[in-house]
């Protein structure tokens, strides 16, 4: 999703109990205590719904009208009917990307989703081949994005886009953690900008933004584009003069590919990611999605690809907590391009592995034994 995500912290209190050793004096043990009924949990605290003042809406309307030449009265009329939705705040507080890889992967890599992707690819093979010829993005990658985002167009989201962006622009969820204040402020500012750009999008495309539905984060259409991405990267794939990401698969395919190329720097024919071996004396590698290390750099730190890859590519280390143990991968420029769609290594790996399965190239995910110090991988 082009869409934006944030991590929520859950603080758990655990009580400790100690058990005394049985008496050795021969005194009979007291009878076991009768089990007590569980203490009922206190009722949840009532949700306090934030109140958005008329002054705040009016200020937003003035700013948006000045920036995008939209009638401020129209903006205020739309926002006056918008709702702050608790379900959106809850969903944003616990994104799936916060799950460990062993729990995240099964959400998307299922036989049903693989079968659906293969059927979808077969149905649209010619159109996807034309897009690949123009942009260099393989059909299975485009299909996988649509599969992960909307289950091949069958679930594009039911939240009113205006409500989703209004909620996150004016009532973004807060953890109360001082260390997260700057990021939470930044995320709220991002959604405030997206809400403003939704009005610009309506003006430019003629879409009635009050009727649009999408995800809890305000992403829309088969490929789940945020308003800014719709404006910047959506293209007319069938030559009808429109950019329709809700009904035109030609526009959807071309727009996803265009996004990868323009936003992510997709390399035609480039590697996405490969499994790596970790030497027993491997050094730490800075955690980054940006592929800034040469293969020589990574080898010197103890990480080598398990298959041959062009030596002139740069990569980053992708460490995952798999179901069977740690997994190590090298992520190249095209892996980074997928993370521009959703800034998460879990998301990018799910898209890649689903695409490989759709193309009939299932990936091995079992642990790889570490090599001895200084030894090349098998």
At 109-142, the pLDDT tens digits run 999 999 999 999 999 999 999 999 999 999 999 9
CA atoms within 13 A on the CB side of 363: 26
pTM of this prediction?
A: 0.82
Across the range 252-260, mean pLDDT stands at 98
Per residue in 178-236, pLDDT (tens digit) is: 999 999 999 999 999 999 999 999 999 999 999 999 999 999 999 999 999 999 999 99
Nearest-angstrom CA–CA distance, 342 and 257: 15
Across the range 29-33, mean pLDDT stands at 45
Q: Tell me, what's the pLDDT at 175?
A: 86
**CB crowding 262-274: b at 16 or more within 10 Å, else e:** eebebbeebbbbb
Nearest-angstrom CA–CA distance, 146 and 158: 17
Q: Which of 149, 194, 327, 356 is flagged as catalytic?
A: 149
Phi, psi of 276 (to 5 degrees): -130, 155
- Paired with 329 in beta bridges are 275, 318
Active-site annotation holds for 149: yes
Residue 19 confidence (pLDDT) above 50? no
């Amino acid at each position: 999703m082009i869409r934006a995500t944030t991590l929520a912290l859950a603080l758990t209190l655990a009580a400790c109990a100690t058990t005394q050793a049985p008496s050795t004096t021969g005194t009979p043990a007291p009878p076991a205590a009768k089990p007590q009924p569980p203490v009922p949990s206190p009722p949840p605290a009532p949700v306090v719904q934030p109140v958005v003042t008329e002054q705040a809406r009016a200020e937003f309307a003035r700013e948006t009208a000045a920036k995008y030449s939209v009638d401020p009265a129209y903006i205020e009329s739309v926002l006056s009917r918008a709702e702050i939705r608790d379900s959106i705040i809850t969903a944003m507080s616990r994104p799936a990307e916060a799950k460990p890889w062993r729990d995240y992967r099964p959400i998307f890599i299922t036989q049903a989703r693989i079968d659906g992707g293969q059927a979808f690819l077969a149905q649209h093979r010619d159109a996807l081949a034309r897009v690949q010829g123009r942009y260099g993005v393989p059909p299975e990658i485009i299909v996988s994005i649509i599969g992960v985002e909307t289950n091949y167009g069958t679930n594009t989201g039911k939240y009113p886009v205006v409500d989703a962006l209004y909620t996150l622009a004016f009532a973004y969820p807060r953890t109360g953690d001082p260390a997260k204040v700057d990021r939470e402020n930044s995320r709220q500012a991002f959604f405030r900008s997206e809400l403003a750009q939704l009005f610009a999008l309506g003006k430019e495309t003629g879409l009635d933004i009050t009727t649009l539905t999408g995800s809890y984060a305000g992403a829309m259409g088969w490929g789940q584009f945020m308003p800014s991405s719709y404006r910047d990267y959506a293209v007319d794939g069938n030559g009808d003069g429109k950019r329709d990401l809700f009904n035109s698969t030609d526009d959807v395919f071309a727009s996803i590919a265009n996004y990868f190329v323009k936003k992510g720097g997709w390399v035609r024919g480039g590697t996405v990611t490969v499994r790596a071996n970790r030497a027993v004396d491997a050094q730490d590698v800075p955690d980054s999605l940006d592929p800034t290390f040469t293969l020589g750099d990574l080898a010197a730190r103890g990480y080598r690809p398990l298959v041959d890859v062009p030596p002139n590519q740069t990569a980053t280390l992708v460490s995952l907590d798999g179901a069977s143990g740690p997994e190590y991968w090298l992520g190249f420029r095209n892996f980074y391009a997928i993370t521009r769609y959703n800034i998460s290594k879990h998301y990018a790996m799910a898209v890649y592995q689903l695409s490989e399965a759709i193309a009939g190239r299932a990936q091995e995910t079992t642990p790889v034994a570490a090599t001895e110090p200084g030894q090349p991988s098998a």
